[in-house]
Amino acid sequence: MIILVVMQEKDNLLSEELNKARAELSILYEISNAMHTTLKLDEILYIILTGVTAHIGLSFNRAILFLVNKDTGMLEGKMGIGPDTAEAADSIWKRIDTQRMKLEDLISSFSKDKLDSSKLNFLVKSISVPCIEEKGGILAVALNDGMSLHIAKDKIATLKDDPALKLFNSDEFVVVPLQAKNNVIGLIVADNFVTRKPITKDDIRMLTMFANQAGLAIESSQLYEQTLIRAHTDALTGLWNHGYFQHKLEQLLEKAKEETSYLSLIFVDIDDFKIFNDTCGHQKGDEILVQIAGLFKEVSRKFDYLCRYGGEEFALILPNTNLKDAMAIAERIRVVINNRHFDSGAGHPPQNIACSLGVATFPLHARNKAELIKAADKALYEAKHKGKNNVVSFSY
């Protein structure tokens, strides 16, 4: 009789373990499938963090994702998901329960605007930690060791000056490396700051298994984006090419219409560039184009789109920019280029190069992409007609 009872208990335990393993595999399978629905990096990161924080996922309260920037040697905060307060958490969880939202429902609600309004996400994106252990603290340790770290309550006091604690302000958290083949490309940091639920070995094991899949998905997305950038970049100047200009202008115009905001377009043409090429050679001409592209980058803002329209003509798309501000930017470009002495090569003195600029603004001068391009092109023609080295706005 005793033997039968013991055997029954063992069978029950095995059954429980089997059901648990099935549930875990089902969660990982569902999140993995979701990650394969896109190659856009921001969407991939959102899916990953949603999988970590959703009740129907890995069930952590908050999660932050860092990625390594190889150029700067820094670990940069890319995205954070989780409620800002316990009250916000309660409201979110009630809505999920009431609407019976599944993981796919949470993922489909992806919104950059919603993320931008999140205090956690805003804070995360401002964080940059050195990958060197002496300066990067516990995050750099996890990154360099490639091992998951469980920072329990008894360890918190010894890490009071650690960058991670200043960011996360948590009593207990776990740091898990994002593995991509043989490289660690980033970290996920997760905690339960609302429920105060202890982080178990099973939680860490599941998160580690998931992070291995997530790392590969992120790497694929980064390679895809690099390929896209190369395909849309002008080989000589490094600016966006004509095809990308057409695509981005259309996209930004639609956004401007939705938000009832301004969008300005500047066409820039180098004056008498054919004469320079004929005199100094096309190789020197190419060098000048590269230098002028560099001047555009110096003068423009981070959110402007700098494009090589063709030959010696360039286009600058200025989101959320009215005509007055666009004219000021165009004049700044004209002055900077005109004041620069360009090397003309052996046997030729340094030369000043002038440019003509035409400016048009949506919705002041145009209702759609074709009209805006036509308006900016007409303004550029007027600048040339007035003697070159001019900035002109479109007029009817």
For the cut 60, the answer to whether the pLDDT of residue 5 exceeds it is no
CB of 382 within 8 A of CB of 322? no
* Residues 117, 172 share a domain: yes
Asked, for residue 69, whether it belongs to a domain, the answer is yes
- Are residue 170 and residue 302 in the same domain, yes or no? no
Instruction: State the SS3 of 210-259.
Output: HHHHHHHHHHHHHHHHHHHHHHCECCCCCCECHHHHHHHHHHHHHHHHHH
My answer on whether 216 and 292 are in the same domain is no
pLDDT in the model for residue 380:
96
Last residue of a domain, one of 227, 251, 266: 227
| Statement: residue 302 has pLDDT above 90 | no
**pLDDT of the residue at 113:** 55
Q: Output the six-digit token pair for 185.
A: 């490309």
In this prediction, residue 21 carries a pLDDT of 53
Q: Is 366 left (phi over 0), alpha (psi -120 to 50) or beta?
A: beta
The verdict on 39 and 169 lying in the same domain is yes
Predicted pLDDT of residue 301:
87
Place of tokens 């329209």: 309
Domain span holding position 113? 14-227
Does the pLDDT value for residue 292 go beyond 80?
yes
Helix segments in the chain, DSSP class H = 2-35, 41-53, 86-98, 103-108, 112-116, 119-124, 133-145, 153-156, 163-168, 201-231, 242-259, 273-280, 282-299, 323-338, 369-385
* pLDDT at 63 > cutoff 60: yes
Report the amino acid identity of residue 318.
L
Core vs surface per residue 288-325: b (16+ CB within 10 A) or e: bbeebbeebeebbeeebbbbbbeebbbbbbbbebebee
| Main-chain phi, psi angles of 232, to 5 degrees | -105, 10
CATH code of 266's domain:
3.30.70.270
Which of 59-73, 74-88, 106-120, 253-267 is the least confident region? 106-120
Q: What is the pLDDT of residue 17?
A: 55
Looking only at the bridges linking them, the beta strands covering 391-393 and 355-362 are parallel
Q: Are residues 90 and 135 in the same domain?
A: yes
Q: Does residue 3 lie in a domain region?
A: no
Of all residues in the chain, the percent with pLDDT exceeding 90 is 47
Q: How many domains does the chain have?
A: 2
pLDDT for position 170: 85
Which carries the bigger pLDDT value, residue 160 or residue 348?
Answer: 160
- Is residue 2 a part of any domain in this protein? no
In a domain, 169, yes or no: yes
Sheet holding 173-180, edge to edge: 128-130, 74-81, 62-69, 183-191, 173-180, 149-151
Instruction: Tell me the pTM.
Output: 0.65
Q: Report the CATH number that the domain containing residue 188 is assigned in CATH.
A: 3.30.450.40
Both 74 and 157 in one domain: the answer is: yes
Say yes or no: 146 and 213 in one domain.
Answer: yes
CA of 118: how far to CAs of 64, 167, 198, 337, 345, in Å?
12, 15, 25, 41, 54
What token pair was written down for 294?
């560099």
Enclosing H/E stretch for 130: strand 128-130
- Among 227, 257, 277, the domain-final residue is 227
**51 shares a domain with 165:** yes
For residue 5, with 0-12 CB atoms within 10 Å meaning exposed, 13-18 middle and 19 or more buried, which class applies?
exposed
Check whether residue 107 and residue 199 sit in a common domain: yes
Are 271 and 313 within one domain? Answer: yes
Q: Does residue 192 sit in the same domain as residue 78? A: yes
Q: Write down the residue that tokens 């899916």 correspond to.
A: 47
For 239-290, what is each residue's pLDDT tens digit? 999 999 999 999 999 999 998 999 999 999 999 888 888 777 888 888 989 9
272 and 218 share a domain? no
Alpha-carbon dihedral 301, 307, 313, 315, rounded to 10 degrees? -60
- pLDDT value of position 153: 85
User: When comparing pLDDT for 85 and 202, which is higher?
Assistant: 202
pLDDT of 12 higher than 70: no
* pLDDT tens string 19-57: 555 655 566 666 766 666 787 888 889 888 988 888 766
Inside any domain, residue 249: yes
Decide if 293 is inside a domain: yes
Helix axes 41-53, 201-231, angle to 10 degrees: 170
Q: Is residue 118 in a domain?
A: yes
Query: What is the C-alpha separation between 223 and 361, in angstroms, rounded?
Result: 35
Domain end, chosen from 227, 256, 284, is at: 227
Q: Does residue 236 sit within a domain?
A: no
